[in-house]
């Protein structure tokens, strides 16, 4: 009756392991002490992933990742403030959009989408504008796959005495983040990304002193992280209905993360996926949108074939029929598509995905794979 699950080559939801799925086969009462212990253990492990047990706390929040980003900005960026948003893509601009909904003053520091954020430009912006109180930075810009230089950015923001909020949604658990050496007020991620849980909860690893002084800052009851934290401290419970099955799945996913060897092992596996993918696609004639020097091993953006036979919807449909789910591009100016490297996969899955892409382009009669091969033909 049911076909096998497709391989999700998307940056969340992503392919989860059988153990993670199995962890959702029981019901939990939100008042039950066993569930409170589950929440506490997940939060403690999350803080440990970024080595922050001495300074930071983990505040879980119901909803997708964006809910946690909005909650962190609303709860920890005061109403009288000015936030610098260095931007090189869609998720950076989402931060700006959230700040605008919240009525918090901000300024966008625009970069090309194919380049990493330049810490020197942040340095200059902070030097020039003494009114800037906060910087809100995306670590891995999932819109393209560009890795931004977070340690350098954090150093500069701290040197200027400003506060840093980081959207580490697609990097948390995969890329090294050490809050002992990197000054960050709030680091935001979610269950359904590199920890390989199912989607449904975000979390914010926030500096304890920042959380303690955040009473009354939030614009929203449901997204008030100070209130969520205070209630959790007092009762061991979430305010409002918790995503019980999501928490149980995340517990199982973190156990597998630890057994695999934690963040370094996850990075090694994703790096292998990324190189198998990029090498395979290049051998078919595809071109990546960004340079290898700024590529995070999370998601890869490829130029769409400039061949009249190419059509993303049709390409997607045929890939889906072969058992693979790919992702549309998120750029406004250039036509692209994206393939994720994350999830409970092995490099053999990525090899099979490249083979499926090869078969699909043959079937669709696509001959020109990349913009440069088109200009070579024209020249
Ligand atoms: C996935 C992601 C988010 C959150 O997206 P949701 O669809 O709300 O889960 C935010 N920022 C980045 C960088 C992401 O990769």
User: Tell me, what CATH number does 165's domain have?
Assistant: 3.40.640.10
* Other CB atoms within 10 A of residue 321 CB: 11
The average pLDDT across 302-325 equals 96
Same domain, 77 and 159: yes
Does residue 14 sit within a domain?
Answer: no
Domain at 282, CATH number: 3.90.1150.10
Going by pLDDT thresholds of 50, 70 and 90, the confidence category of residue 11 is confident
Same domain, 323 and 266: yes
Does residue 335 sit within a domain?
Answer: yes
The average pLDDT across 181-197 equals 98
Last residue of a domain, one of 226, 259, 292: 259
Probe target for ligand 1 pocket from 8, 12, 203, with the most ligand atoms within 8 Å of CB? 12
What's the CA-to-centroid distance between 78 and ligand 1, angstroms?
23
Backbone angles phi, psi at 36, to 5 degrees: -60, -40
The average pLDDT across 37-58 equals 98
What's the CA-to-centroid distance between 341 and ligand 1, angstroms?
15
CA end-to-end span of the chain: 53
Q: Within 6 Å (CB) of ligand 1, which residues are found?
A: 11-12, 64-66, 69, 91, 138, 142, 167, 169-170, 190
Digit-coded pLDDT (tens) for 52-76: 999 999 999 999 999 999 999 999 9
> Over the range 200-215, which residues count as b (16 or more CB within 10 Å of their CB) and which as e?
bbbbbbbbeebbeebe
More confident residue, 58 or 331: 58
More confident residue, 259 or 333: 259
CA 140 to ligand 1: nearest atom = 13
Does residue 6 sit within a domain?
Answer: no
Digit-coded pLDDT (tens) for 72-128: 999 999 999 999 999 999 999 999 999 999 999 999 999 999 999 999 999 999 999
Does residue 281 sit within a domain?
Answer: yes
Dmax over Cα atoms in the chain, in whole Å? 70
Probe target for ligand 1 pocket from 61, 64, 66, with the most ligand atoms within 8 Å of CB? 66
Does residue 2 sit within a domain?
Answer: no
pLDDT at site 331:
82
Checking if the pLDDT of 379 tops 80, the result is no
Does residue 173 sit within a domain?
Answer: yes
- Total domains present in the chain: 2
pLDDT at site 375:
67
pLDDT at site 374:
65
Same domain, 272 and 250: no
If we measure between CA atoms, which residue out of 191, 252, 154, 165 comes closest to residue 14? 191
If we measure between CA atoms, which residue out of 108, 190, 119 comes closest to residue 156? 119
Checking if the pLDDT of 265 tops 60, the result is yes
d(CA 141, CA 79): 26
Six-digit token string for 23: 């962890």
Same domain, 211 and 339: no
pLDDT at site 130:
98
Q: 78: phi > 0 → left, psi -120 to 50 → alpha, else beta; which?
A: beta
pLDDT at site 165:
98
Query: What is the SS3 assignment for 58?
Result: strand
Same domain, 128 and 231: yes
Beta strand pairing call for 134-138 and 105-110 = unpaired
Checking if the pLDDT of 134 tops 60, the result is yes
Does residue 179 sit within a domain?
Answer: yes
CA 141 to ligand 1: nearest atom = 13
Same domain, 145 and 217: yes
Same domain, 366 and 219: no
What's the CA-to-centroid distance between 275 and ligand 1, angstroms?
23
Note down the domain range covering 354: 262-378
Last residue of a domain, one of 204, 228, 259: 259
Going by pLDDT thresholds of 50, 70 and 90, the confidence category of residue 330 is confident
Same domain, 66 and 110: yes
The average pLDDT across 170-174 equals 98
Checking if the pLDDT of 275 tops 50, the result is yes
Same domain, 236 and 280: no
Same domain, 60 and 182: yes
Probe target for ligand 1 pocket from 169, 175, 200, with the most ligand atoms within 8 Å of CB? 169
What's the CA-to-centroid distance between 66 and ligand 1, angstroms?
6
What's the CA-to-centroid distance between 169 and ligand 1, angstroms?
6
Going by pLDDT thresholds of 50, 70 and 90, the confidence category of residue 1 is low
The average pLDDT across 195-209 equals 98
What's the CA-to-centroid distance between 236 and ligand 1, angstroms?
27
What's the CA-to-centroid distance between 64 and ligand 1, angstroms?
8
Q: Are 161 and 127 in contact (CB under 8 A)?
A: no
Same domain, 233 and 303: no
Probe target for ligand 1 pocket from 91, 200, 223, with the most ligand atoms within 8 Å of CB? 91
Checking if the pLDDT of 245 tops 70, the result is yes
- For ligand 1, atom 2, the nearest C-alpha belongs to 169
Digit-coded pLDDT (tens) for 350-365: 999 999 999 999 999 9
Does residue 7 sit within a domain?
Answer: no
Last residue of a domain, one of 243, 259, 275: 259
Give the lowest-confidence range in 60-74, 210-224, 323-337.
323-337
Same domain, 26 and 150: yes
Going by pLDDT thresholds of 50, 70 and 90, the confidence category of residue 2 is low
């Amino acid at each position: 009756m049911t076909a096998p699950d497709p391989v999700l080559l998307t940056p969340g939801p992503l392919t989860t392991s059988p153990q993670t799925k199995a962890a959702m086969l029981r019901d939990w009462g939100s008042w039950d002490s066993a569930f409170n212990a589950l929440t506490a253990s997940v939060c403690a492990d999350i803080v440990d992933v970024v080595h922050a047990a001495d300074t930071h706390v983990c505040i879980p929040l119901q909803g997708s990742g964006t809910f946690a980003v909005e909650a962190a900005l609303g709860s920890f960026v005061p109403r009288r403030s000015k936030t610098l948003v260095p931007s090189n893509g869609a998720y950076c601009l989402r931060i700006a959009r959230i700040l605008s909904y919240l009525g918090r003053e901000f300024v966008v520091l625009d970069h090309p989408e194919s380049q990493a954020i330049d810490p020197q430009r942040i340095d200059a912006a902070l030097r020039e504008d003494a009114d800037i109180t906060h910087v809100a930075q995306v670590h891995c810009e999932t819109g393209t796959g560009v890795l931004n230089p977070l340690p350098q950015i954090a150093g500069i923001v701290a040197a200027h005495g400003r506060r840093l909020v980081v959207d580490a949604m697609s990097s948390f658990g995969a890329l090294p983040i050490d809050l002992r050496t990197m000054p960050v007020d709030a680091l935001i991620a979610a269950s359904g990304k590199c920890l390989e849980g199912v989607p449904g909860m975000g979390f914010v690893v926030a500096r304890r002193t920042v959380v303690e002084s955040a009473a009354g800052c939030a614009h929203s009851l449901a997204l008030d992280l100070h209130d969520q934290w205070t209630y959790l401290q007092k009762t061991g419970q979430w305010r409002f209905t918790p995503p019980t099955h999501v928490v149980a799945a995340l517990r199982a996913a973190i156990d597998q993360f630890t057994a695999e060897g934690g963040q370094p092992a996850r990075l090694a596996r994703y790096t292998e996926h990324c190189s198998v993918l990029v090498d395979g696609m290049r051998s078919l004639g595809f071109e990546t949108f960004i340079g290898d020097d700024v590529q995070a091993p999370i998601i890869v953006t490829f130029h769409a074939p400039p061949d009249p036979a190419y059509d993303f919807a049709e390409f997607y449909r045929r890939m889906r029929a072969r058992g693979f789910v790919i992702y549309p591009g998120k750029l406004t100016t250039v036509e692209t598509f994206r393939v994720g490297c994350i999830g409970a996969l092995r490099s053999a899955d990525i090899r099979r995905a490249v083979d499926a892409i090869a078969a699909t382009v043959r079937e669709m009669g696509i001959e020109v794979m990349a913009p440069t091969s088109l200009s070579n033909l024209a020249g």
